[in-house]
Structure 1
Amino acid sequence: FAFQGPSLKQFMDIFSLPEMTLLSSVIDYFINHGIEFDQVHLYKDISDAIRDVHVKGVMYKWIEKDLEQYILHGDEIYAVLNRLVNHKKKLFLITNSPFSFVDKGMKHMVGKNWRDLFDMVIVQADKPNFFTDRRKPFRKLDDKGSLQWDKINQLEKGKIYKEGNLFDFLRLTGWRGSKVLYFGDHLYSDLADLMLRHGWRTGAIVPELETEIRIINTEQYMHSLTWQQALTGLLERMQMYQDAESKQVLLEWMKERQEIRSLTKNLFNPQFGSIFRTFHNPTYFSRRLVRFSDIYMASISCLLNYDVNFTFYPRRTPLQHEAPLWMDQLCTGCMKTPFLEEMVHIR
């Protein structure tokens, strides 16, 4: 779509997949059948349809009919939650989904006593407005999901609350700042306001990370990336030689480097490459991810690999004026790099 600025739609989470699929399918149908259409109208109609399916509860009913197909059993999720509870951590759940869906889904994933794991459960929270709009009060639900009329002066363990807002949540719990670690799967709806305005620690759940890590740990990827970096260093060092033979060698190196760049990108996805980087540049998603999350992982179950008191320290990444030092180390062998010695013999 030829939009710019605020009119450019960003598809940022897993809920965007059906919307993108429907958009591409309808556009493909219109083009193949010679049907003229206005891009703005098409996008609006499809967005409205997606929203109606979600807001009116149609999606929840479909999923509830076949939980086995749509929701995985969460043995590892239960292990994480139970471990945190045993270490005296206070847990809370804030979701936009209705209680009936949350209850059935969590019973399927975690077990019938899932509510015992959480100190607070808030449903139909209307995120991201929950984090910015002070006007909606908390409402209590009974065990059948019916609204109660009493004023909420405290958030009680074992009770279910609807709507509300973060400002009342902070006032009633006293939980503030870096003592809170909040996990979410949407950078804007879940994490941005909490980090920028309230100082919470944030963790992003990125399921695609599992596939990406598996690819970067393959021998093919590591071989290709190492040789690409070595070629880059050679090109930087040797471009001063301008005789005919040297120029020919440099051209061959440049061609080979470009081929390797394309290869490493296509290993992730032939159409789009990695969701985290485009060649040497981080993607827009990756930059937003780093901006709005302190840590990110494929699943909350990844925490099982670490002690509860483990501290994650930020990694030092080279700046542009530091990069030449890194390349010199790589190309002169000062850094121990996998497969580099083998490649010296090959080349």
Structure 2
Amino acid sequence: MRAILDLLPEELPGEGYRKAQIAHWLYARGALDFAEMTDLPKALREALDREWRISEFALVEAYPSRDGSVKYLFTLLDGKKTEAVYMPYENRKTVCLSTMVGCPAGCSFCATGALGFGRNLTAAEILSQILAIAHHQGISPREIRNVVLMGMGEPLLNLQNVLRAVRVMLHPKGLALSPRRVTLSTVGIPKGIYRLAEEDLGVRLALSLHAPDDETRRKIVPTAHRYPIAEILEAVRHYYAKTKRRVTFEYTLLEGVNDHLWQARLLAKLLKGLSAHVNLIPFNPWEGAPVEGTPKAGILAFAEELRRLGVPTSIRWSRGQDVGAACGQLALKVPRPLTFKPTLEDAGR
């Protein structure tokens, strides 16, 4: 049985009109069972059910946070697990998706990195996260208007599957997202950044920098031993020249490691001339973490120093920390699951 979400809308089974109907059921109505597609001929529905599957999950577990966000734990069909986070805001609904089981990057401040690498997710498994979350929330998948590929994994090391999933997200008969509503986060893989630029999808790029100098970065980001900051920034400049999309620089503040004001000044110097925005991230604690986060006063001082030097800066105060859903906490460890299986019986929820 094949994964139907691995297909672009124009590749779906059936003739042109039927392809459009199937795409509408999948991405506008969020169907998780072919029997729901009542305007398709019965014979076609039965054939689809024999040959194709919609959901890529054996089980979905939902962990609601006090702040309204929800962490989702997905058991894949091979028994491996990954996670995503739903974050509703007043004027938008955002999902943070994973692109891998675990992560090979191994950043010292990230619980996912401590898990190590499991495997890449397929395009269908990436997209299925959106459909499962929308189903559980009782909304259309197209009501989710912001997607950030910032969950488990390094997207640029799974680029073929990520690109295919993003094309479905942007496709007018898919999720119909605006490119500016899709953000891809990377620890800095220059070859992948160049490839992403050449694909010219127009999505936003977020670079997990976390230090303004190679010496500090090597202490907390293992990939920095292979890719120096200068090489990464050269690729980022190419990306901006090609796409005209401002690049976000993610920076997790760690006490006594990368939070000195001289490092803020060096960061400002490093980004001079770039169309950049710095997103400061308070460290979200997790069991066994070898680092500690910068206190709030230090975070505010670091932000103020960057702003004083003309660098657009914001602080991303994390959501979902009480259920292990905050940035850097995804590690398959959360309490008291509310579970559901993605079946037809759940469709009315």
The normalised TM-score by structure 1 is 0.25
Greater relative contact order structure (CA < 8 Å, 6+ sep): 2
Which structure: larger Rg?
Answer: 1
The normalised TM-score by structure 2 is 0.25
Structure with bigger helix share is 1
